[in-house]
Structures are given as C-alpha cells and as structure tokens.
Amino acid sequence: MLNTRLLLLSWVIIMALSGSTLLLQLAAQSRPGCRSRCGNLNIPYPFGMTEGRRDCSYGGLSNTFVIDCDNSTDPPSAYIANRSTGLNAVDISMDNHEIRIMMNGARECYNSSGAVTRRTRSGITLGIFSVSSTKNRFFAVGCDTQATLNGTENRGFSTGCTLQCKSITDVINGSCSGIGCCQASLPINMRTYEISISSYDNHRLVHDFNPCSFAFVAANDYDFNFSTTSLMGMAWERMPVVLEWAVEAKTCEEAQKNMTSYMCKENTNCSDAAHSGGYRCHCKEGYQGNPYLSGPDGCQDIDECKTANRCHKTALCENQIGTYRCYCPHGFEGEGYTNGCVARQKENNSFEMALGVAIGCLLLLLCASLLALGLRRRKATKEREKFFKDNGGLRLQNLLSQHQSYVEILKVFTTGELKRATDNYNESRILGQGGQGTVYKGIMMNDRVVAIKKARLLDRSQVNEFINEVVVLSQINHKNVVRLIGCCLETELPLLVYEFVSNGTLSQHLHDNDGQCSASLCSWKARLRVAAETAGALSYLHSEAAIAIVHRDVKSTNILLDENFTAKVSDFGASRLMPSDKAQLSTLVQGTFGYLDPEYFHSSQLTEKSDVYSFGVVLAELLTGMKAISFAKPEKERTLSLVFVSAVKEDRCLEIIDKRIINEGNVDHIREVALLASRCLKVRGQDRPSMKEVALKLEGLLRKTKQQPWIHQDPSNFEESEYLLRGSHVNYPDTGLINTTGSRDTMKNQLIPFGVEDAR
C-alpha cells in the first residue's frame, strides 16, 4: 500500500513537471508539389502559387486564390492575384478564413498658400473577398479634413468623418475621438472601397501644425498612437487590413449537390459565409489539417494527448479518433478528467500517509535530477499501461479479484520479469518459431524454467474471450496437459508463460530421425502409453474441465514429452481465438492439414468430435510411424488417414504397422488399437467414439500390457532407454546429441510447447 502511494506521488510530480506542452506548429498545407511559402507567408490550399500549374490554387490561373510571389524584394513579397493589385498578403489564416494584407493610406498635402503638393490615393477592388467589417476601422487625421470611404458596388454607400480644429493645444494625445482624429466603422460585405480626402480651406489656417490630411483603413489590432506629431506628418507606413475569404459563390447546400466540385474534404464541416456568399470548410472537432485537401495534409485526428494537457495531471490520456479519453493508471481509481486518480486502497493510516509524504519529498529532490530519465520512462510506462488495457488487463484483474483462488493459479508477469527471464529475448533462447509466434525459454528469478510464447497476432475484437480463456486454461491442472502459469499483458501482443517441457514433441521423436524412431518410442508399450495419456488429457478437456474445452488442433507436434517421456498436450483452446471467417480458412488449415476433421469443410465448425478425428490421425502415426501428410509420396498415399482407413478396411493393416513395434505378443492389441483409430477417423462425426470411450479403451489395453512382463524382451526396451535418457538429460540439460542409446536422438530442438505454426 505504501508502494502504491509512493507511486502516486511520483506520478503527480512527474506529471506536474512535464505539464507544459508545446503546441505543434503546423506547416503550410499546400497541394503536393506546389510551393508552400513565399517569403514569410505560408500558403495553404486553396491558395497557391501557380508556377505554371493550374491545380496549385483553387480556380486556376485567373483567380484571386493565386499568390504572386515577387522575389525581387528581400524577403520576397506575396501579392493576391498578381503584383499589380498591390494587395500584399502577409498572413493567410485557415481557421478564421482571413487574409491579412498591408495597405497604403490616402493623404493629401498642401503648401502654405493652399496648393496641393502631394496626393496619394487608397482603395481596394477585391474579387470574392471582402474587407472584414468587424476587424477593421476607418481612420482620418487632420484639422481641416473631410475623409470619405465609398464603396462603389451595387449598393453605393459612403461613410467617413469631418475634422475641424483651430489650435494644436486642443488636440488630446492618444485620443482619436473627433479632435484631429476620427474613426468610423465599416459596412459588412465591403468588396470595394475608395478613400477620398478633401479640405474646406486647403489647410491654409492650420498649415503650421497640420499640412496634410490622412485617411486609412486599419485592422483593430493596429496600435494607432494618435498624437500631435501625427498632425505634423504621419510616419508613412503601410497599415494591416483584414480580408475575409470563402470559396465558390454558393451555399453549403448548393455546393454539396455536386460532390466532384465540393471543396470540403474528409472529416470536415461546411459553413455558409454569413453575408458575402460562398462557403467555408472546417475540420470537425478533434481533427486538424487543411479541410480543402484530402490525404495526410487534410483533416486528421488530433492526438489530444500530445498537444495539450487535457487530463488531470495524475491521469493517463488515450487518444481516440476525433476525441480522447482520460483514465487512471492501473492500481489507481478516479475519473481522471477534472478529478485526479487516487491509489486504490483498503485502509487508511495517517502514519503511513505522513511517511509517504516525507519520502515523497525526498523523491521530489531525486526527481529533479532524474527528470530526463523519468520522462523517458513515463513514455514506456504509458505504453505498457496502454497495452495492458488493450489486452484486457483490466478485465483480467477484475476476474482475479473476484476469485481469490485464481490468484495462486495465474500469475501476471511484468515486461521486466520476462525480459530478464529471456535475456531480453535473446535469439539463443528461441525454442521454436513459426508463422504466428515465437517461443522462448525463460529462466525466472527462482530458477524455474518456463516457456514464454510471444504471439504475432491477436484479434483485438476478441480480447475478452482471450482473457476468459486464459483464466479457464490456467485452472486446468492435469498431469498430461501443459500448464499455463501466467501471462504478461503489458506488451503490444500478450505473452503467455507455460510450463517448460524438456523433451521435444511427439512428432520429433516419431519422424525427425530420418525415419528411425527415437529409441524411447520404439516399443509398443511406450507408444500405447503416449496414446493413452493423450487421450486421457483430451477426454479431461472435453468432459471434466470446468467448462468443456475443444482443443481444435490435436496433432503430434502439439504433444510434448517431458523428461520421463510423459505426454503433455499443449496449445489447447488457444486456437479458438483464431479468425473464424472462411476467407482465412486456407491459412488456418495449412499447419494442421492431414489432421483436420473432414466435416469442418462443410460446417466450418470444430467440435469435440473434430478432436477425436485428429486424435485418430495421431494414433495412426503412432501405429505406423508415418507422417500425417508426406509430400514426398505419390498423391494417393500422401494422406495417412486415407491410407490407414483403407488398409484397416481391407484387413491388411499389419502391412503398414511400424515393424519395430510388432512382436508375437502384441499383434492382437495392435489390431485392436488400429480398429479404434479407424473408428476415430470416420467421416461423420456422429460415427466416431467419444474421447472418453477412446481413453478408457487405451488405458485398459495399457493395463493389460503392463501385466505381461515378457513384452520387456522387446529389442528396443523402453524402460532401459528411458533410464539412460533420463541420466543423460540430468547431466546435459540443455544441449547436445545423446548417443548413449545408440539411436541418433537429437535433443537440440527441445520443446516446442505448442504448435508454433498454429498459435494465435
């Protein structure tokens, strides 16, 4: 408990220290292959520089969305449409659909006798853009000034103000409110304007302190500091003006009728430009990018967890499509958004609390120096938490906490433990490798040897089933079933930890020695025992386990042998998590071809009777020493099950029985087992015996065999070779060829705890 509290404290500290996050600077999003910058200006599509291409900007070459880049200046200057418009763009905003341009004001200057010495005009003619009425104002400066802004569009209008002042002392610094300076607001949807200035008396009376009249439109954020010096002669600079833009002269509704020309791409919303006509595209909430582009520059899901601190600082953040989720790390509870997470606890102890805080303070000091390390670790921890959750860890915890009894049975390992156990998944520890997973030999801290299976695929939609199954399998405690010890859910794909079975697979012993059976399995008695043990295990899974479990992948590579050559069935049930649709059938079947229930091709369902069929094939393998499928043989003789069944039918089964196991004493037993095998291999599931019946029959025969001591006269005496092997094994637990028995029994490929080929 103290531990969890300390954990919480370090979380708080680490999260607080790393709380400030940087917002991502988005790059300009222009069309692929089009220049995205002119000087300091980012040019997002639908704007674009043509450079001879029509598609860089919306509407082609003749449109106002073209940016003309004049690179004769430094930095280069960007102009809307073309440089002769003089509309010098300095910022294009996608969020507000605004363009900021720099504009001259208008002025008129006089000499003391009232003649005009200088006149500058100012005006704008915009295509489909308009001057923002809310973000700009009109200013006039002078003491004998009439300034007018008139728009010449359809509706003629005129606005402006008149200024008269007699003495500079009347002017109030900083106040543009009627004396020497006035301002006016702009009408909405103004696409064209022209500023005109006139004077009543041509500044003759005010010439000594105000020789010129000025008028201009400027953005609200232009910090115009009016003062007496402005009257003397304003600094001649350009003022920013905010323009609004929209695309196509249609409403959203009209535009959406033609999706080929509709400008808004994936994950966008459309809005009508309030007054000016046209519409605007926006990324939906939770997305960012350029709504006018599709693909990676278009509206993409925002990883809220990276760009802002959305969750409470003690909580974890998980990005989701269009949104995000806050949750508490494992071992903590709370909602995580506005309220923090607290350690899940059973009791409260103020001393412990105080101690926790004290230690926490020490931790804080430590933390400061270890911050960099901490941040790196945090990422890894976050990742582990995420995997743990994705892999159903919470569900597993739930199940485990409901049933205390599981706790001893199933152990939840951490990534660290398994990394250590496998020497960081060292290649030398690989026991088996196949299309769908890798099995490593692991040595735990307490020197216990385990097999760690790292799957390559997991069907995410079936995580709950997976967890249920892990719990059920962990409860199976049968001497002929490979035990599931635990799992680790903190990696992207869950790791399963199994009992280590040291002596390889039945298939290896039967087939791997150039057709010479391994000494230990050359006797009839040994084979009968393996058959009986396997049948017993399957029968247990079918009818005696907590819930009926169909193995689904019984085959000789899934039957492991321990150092006493006791059979252990592995990889049971796990294949239930395999994809179930027919499209994947071919890949699914590859590994198990030769064992697969023929009924499966019609029903696509594997039942207990399918296990019986597969077991029949294993029995046939034990009897004949042949492989379930031998591609080297002519097509007719390729499939053992067919060859075997027809041999039994034609009563010539002794012809195909492995000669090494036959002697006068056991022919009847062998015949009996062959008949049993052929019953297991019936095409129709209902004609096959149950696993229980098979197991009882085999056990009965085994008992009888044991009562016939003369069978030990068999040249390849099982008991003897077993003894020798056991001895060798103790001396050389991991390696080497063992020649003591005279057979070339390689133990190098020891143990493949589950048919790696068919792992999930």
Ligand X SMILES: *[C@@H]1O[C@H](CO)[C@@H](O)[C@H](O)[C@H]1NC(C)=O
Which parts of this chain interact with ligand X (CB under 6 A)? 71, 81-82, 84-85, 111-113, 115, 150, 152, 156, 158, 173, 194, 196, 223-225, 227-229, 258, 260-261, 269, 282, 284-285
Query: Pairing relation of β-strands 316-320 and 323-327?
Result: antiparallel
Q: Is 515 left (phi over 0), alpha (psi -120 to 50) or beta?
A: left
First to last CA, the chain: 37
Residue 353 has, within 13 A of its CA and on its CB side, a CA count of 7
Nearest C-alpha neighbor of 292 from the set 37, 38, 43: 43
Closest by CA position to 218, among listed 237, 200, 191: 237
Q: How far is the CB of 321 from ligand X (least distance, A)?
A: 14
Catalytic residue among 553, 714, 745, 758: 553
The least distance separating ligand X from the CB of residue 395, rounded to whole angstroms, comes to 32
Closest approach of ligand X to the CB of residue 32, in Å:
19
Three-state secondary structure call for residue 194: strand
Distance, C-alpha 279 to centroid of its chain? 35
CB of 21 to ligand X, least distance (A): 22
Pairing, β 136-141 against β 212-219: antiparallel
Please answer whether residues 328 and 389 qualify as being in contact, where contact means their C-beta atoms are separated by less than 8 angstroms: no
CA dihedral angle for residue 308, residue 311, residue 315, residue 317, rounded to 10 degrees: -60
Least Cα distance to 217 among 267, 178, 160, 291 occurs for 160
Q: How far is the CB of 25 from ligand X (least distance, A)?
A: 22
DSSP 668-696: HHHHHHHHHHHHHT-SSGGGSPPHHHHHH
Q: How many CB atoms lie within 10 A of CB 374?
A: 19
At CA 145, angle to CA 139 and CA 151, rounded to 5? 55
If the CB atoms of residues 257 and 659 are measured against ligand X, the closer one turns out to be 257
Nearest position to ligand X, beta carbon: 196
Beta carbon nearer to ligand X, 73 or 749: 73
Amino acid in position 563: E
* Residue 280, helix vs strand vs coil: strand
**Complete edge-to-edge strand list for the sheet that includes strand 144-151:** 122-125, 192-198, 144-151, 157-164
Nearer to ligand X, 223 or 447 (CB): 223
Closest to 13 (Cα-Cα) out of 379, 335, 361 = 361
Q: Which is nearer to ligand X, 194 or 383 (CB)?
A: 194
**Helix, coil or strand: residue 589:** helix
In angstroms, give the least distance from the CB of 127 to ligand X. 7
Smaller CB separation from ligand X, 84 or 405: 84
Taking the least distance from each CB to ligand X, the nearer of 209 and 425 is 209
> What number of H helices and E strands is found in the chain?
19, 35
Residue 118 vs 582, nearer CB to ligand X: 118
Q: Which CB, 272 or 333, lies closer to ligand X?
A: 272
Least distance to ligand X, CB of residue 276, Å: 18
- 278, 247 contact by CB (below 8 A): yes
Considering beta carbons, is residue 112 or 349 the nearer one to ligand X? 112
Are the CB atoms for 277 and 249 separated by under 8 Å? Answer: yes
Dihedral over Cα of 307, 310, 313, 317: its sign: negative
Concerning whether 390 is annotated as a catalytic residue, the answer is no
Name the residues annotated as catalytic. 553
